[in-house]
């Protein structure tokens, strides 16, 4: 057993201890792309080119060439060859459906929909055709329509684990975590072996603050993909959120022993210190993270949070701005910047008011007369 697997086993055992205190194939295999070398692709492309020269009116030659080009990452040329196949044989539903899939992959949603419509007219009511239409709608934010097509795909293949899983993810995309959780857990028997399933369920339970169940599901995901270095750090973050800093520190120590000094580990150590209000140690490790990775937007963001906590608002503002220089879409940093700017405005307003009060001349104090006077 190698060191990586052993370390993951120890981490999983720890997380599971804290939490306790193969899928079927689709009926169609049009999406399956075998893994071949670049030399193989070039040889295959040359061979199919010779076939096309010999039989230029054979649409299947262009179809096969499109598949090779797609496997080589040349989607645009693949589309051109599929169009040629369709022109030669417009009655082949598979050509239209494959063309729709490539249009979808290149973001051409309207063209993808048109091609699927042709496939439907030719009698293709397969799960894969409905799935393409579901994806076309989902990518454009038309979630009810996407769900409708996904349900039609499931009617065609009710035990297709990938489709069942996609439905759960679509619920998540819509923000309906309750239905996503129910749907996925009701189909656990069909979905076992999909690491992303357990990651999603862990995230749902984490949002519900059910950390014990979140840790259980995250442990299953870790067991299925021991090479994923991000998952153990997610476990640490979960333990921190669950107010279990000692356990988080043990897991983090295991990760550090296995991976050595890395920016994501240094960042998590810093966050753990900050969580325990050890601001000087946290500041050291945040700066250490930046020494290892000068473009760590998270390190700048959390440094901002640290200075915010120390009421060093100008310094905090600079850190949030640094994070946004790296990623202008970093929502958390932008929100934190708005808050700290508001705080500084309030401080400036209060100081101006105090200065105004202090500049006023002292009022003459007249001793009030007594009744006898």
Are 316 and 304 in contact by the 8 Å Cβ rule? The answer is: yes
The pLDDT of residue 311 is: 94
**8-12, 257-261, 291-295, 368-372: lowest mean pLDDT where?**
8-12
Are 129 and 120 in contact by the 8 Å Cβ rule? The answer is: yes
Residue 369, classed as helix, strand or coil, is coil
| Cβ contacts of 98 within 8 Å, gap of 6 or more | 30, 63, 66, 82
**Percentage of the chain lying above the pLDDT 70 cut:** 87
- Measured CA to CA, the distance from residue 207 to residue 214 in angstroms comes to 9
Are 12 and 219 in contact by the 8 Å Cβ rule? The answer is: yes
The pLDDT of residue 280 is: 93
* 360-365: long-range pairs with CB below 8 Å, 24+: none
The pLDDT of residue 5 is: 47
Answer CATH for 23-136 from 3.40.50.920, 1.10.40.30, 1.10.1280.10, 1.25.40.10: 1.25.40.10
How far, in Å, are 124, 135, 266, 334 from residue 287 at the CA level? 59, 43, 9, 21
Residue range 42-99, pLDDT digits in tens: 888 888 888 888 888 999 999 999 998 888 889 999 999 999 999 999 999 999 999 9
pTM value is 0.64
Q: Which two tokens stand for residue 90?
A: 């417009």
Residue range 177-230, pLDDT digits in tens: 999 999 999 988 888 777 888 989 999 999 999 999 999 999 988 888 888 888
Number of neighbours of residue 31 by Cβ within 10 angstroms: 10
Residue range 322-337, pLDDT digits in tens: 999 999 999 999 999 9
Average pLDDT, the chain: 86
pLDDT at 21 over 80: no
Architecture label for domain 159-228:
Alpha Horseshoe (1.25)
Q: Which two tokens stand for residue 317?
A: 């503002």
- Measured CA to CA, the distance from residue 268 to residue 252 in angstroms comes to 8
Residue range 123-158, pLDDT digits in tens: 999 999 999 999 999 999 999 999 999 999 999 999
Of the ranges 16-20, 30-34, 148-152, 195-199, the best mean pLDDT one = 148-152
The pLDDT of residue 122 is: 94
pLDDT at 288 over 60: yes
pLDDT confidence of 15, banded at 50, 70, 90? low
What number is the average pLDDT over the span 157-168? 90
361 vs 75: which has the higher pLDDT: 75
The pLDDT of residue 17 is: 54
pLDDT confidence of 1, banded at 50, 70, 90? very low
The pLDDT of residue 362 is: 65
- Measured CA to CA, the distance from residue 273 to residue 255 in angstroms comes to 16
Selection from 112, 33, 43 nearest residue 73 by Cα: 33
**Percentage of the chain lying above the pLDDT 90 cut:** 54
pLDDT confidence of 364, banded at 50, 70, 90? low
- CATH 1.25.40.10 in the chain: give the residue spans: 23-136, 159-228
The pLDDT of residue 156 is: 93
Of the ranges 13-17, 107-111, 260-264, 362-366, the best mean pLDDT one = 107-111
Residue range 297-319, pLDDT digits in tens: 999 999 999 999 999 999 999 99
């Amino acid at each position: 057993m190698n060191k990586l697997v052993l370390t993951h086993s120890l981490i999983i055992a720890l997380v599971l201890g804290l939490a306790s205190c193969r899928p079927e194939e689709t009926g169609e295999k049009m999406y399956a792309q075998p893994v071949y070398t670049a030399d193989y692709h070039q040889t295959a492309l040359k061979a199919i080119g010779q076939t096309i020269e010999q039989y230029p009116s054979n649409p299947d030659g262009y179809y096969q060439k499109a598949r090779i080009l797609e496997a080589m990452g040349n989607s645009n040329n693949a589309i051109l060859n599929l169009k040629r196949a369709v022109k030669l044989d417009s009655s082949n539903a598979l050509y239209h459906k494959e063309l729709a899939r490539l249009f979808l992959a290149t973001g051409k949603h309207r063209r993808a929909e048109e091609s699927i419509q042709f496939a439907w007219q030719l009698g293709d009511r397969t799960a894969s055709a409905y799935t393409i239409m579901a994806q076309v709608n989902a990518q454009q934010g038309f979630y009810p329509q996407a769900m409708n097509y996904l349900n039609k795909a499931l009617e065609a293949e009710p035990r297709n684990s990938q489709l069942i899983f996609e439905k759960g993810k679509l619920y998540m995309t819509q923000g309906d975590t309750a239905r996503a959780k129910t749907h996925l857990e009701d189909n656990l028997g069909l979905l076992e072996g999909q690491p992303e399933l357990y990651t999603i369920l862990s995230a749902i339970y984490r949002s519900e603050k059910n950390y014990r169940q979140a840790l259980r599901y995250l442990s299953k995901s870790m067991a299925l993909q021991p090479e994923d270095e991000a998952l153990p750090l997610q476990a640490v973050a979960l333990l921190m959120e669950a107010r279990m800093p000692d356990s988080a520190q043990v897991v983090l120590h295991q990760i550090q022993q296995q991976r050595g000094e890395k920016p994501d580990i240094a960042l998590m150590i810093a966050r753990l210190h900050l969580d325990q209000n050890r601001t000087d140690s946290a500041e050291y490790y945040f700066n250490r993270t930046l020494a290892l990775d000068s473009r760590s937007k998270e390190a700048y963001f959390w440094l901002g949070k640290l200075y915010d906590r120390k009421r060093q608002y100008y310094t905090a503002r600079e850190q949030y701005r640094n994070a946004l220089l790296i990623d202008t879409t970093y929502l958390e940093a932008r929100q934190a910047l708005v808050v700290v700017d508001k705080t500084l405005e309030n401080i400036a307003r209060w100081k101006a008011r105090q200065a105004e009060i202090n500049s006023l001349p002292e009022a003459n104090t007249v001793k009030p007369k007594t009744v006898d006077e």
